Amino acid sequence: MANEGKTIKITQVRSGIGTKKGHREVLRSLGLRRIRHQVERPDTPAVRGMVHKIKYLVEVEES
């Protein structure tokens, strides 16, 4: 795999209040709990798909 060992930093920048239930569940499954909370996750297609679903709520940094 090309991105072996790579990670991405995901920061929540908007609230999940008022969003679809599925989007709130994705936030929670990524481990994001509040605005400005940052988590580091492996750069996998599954994680990228989750981030794409809630791209209006988060910012992503390559690391």
30 closest CA partner among 52, 50, 4: 50
Q: What's the confidence (pLDDT) of residue 3?
A: 61
pTM of the entire structure?
A: 0.89
Q: What's the confidence (pLDDT) of residue 5?
A: 84
Alpha-carbon Rg for the chain, nearest whole angstrom, is: 11
Q: List the domains of the chain with CATH numbers.
A: 7-62 (3.30.1390.20)
Q: What's the confidence (pLDDT) of residue 63?
A: 84
What is the share, in percent, of the chain residues with pLDDT greater than 90? 90
32 with 12: CB under 8 angstroms? yes
Q: Are strands 7-12 and 38-42 parallel, antiparallel or unpaired?
A: antiparallel
Tens digit of each residue's pLDDT (9 = 90 or more) over 25-48: 999 999 999 999 999 999 999 999
Q: What's the confidence (pLDDT) of residue 25?
A: 97
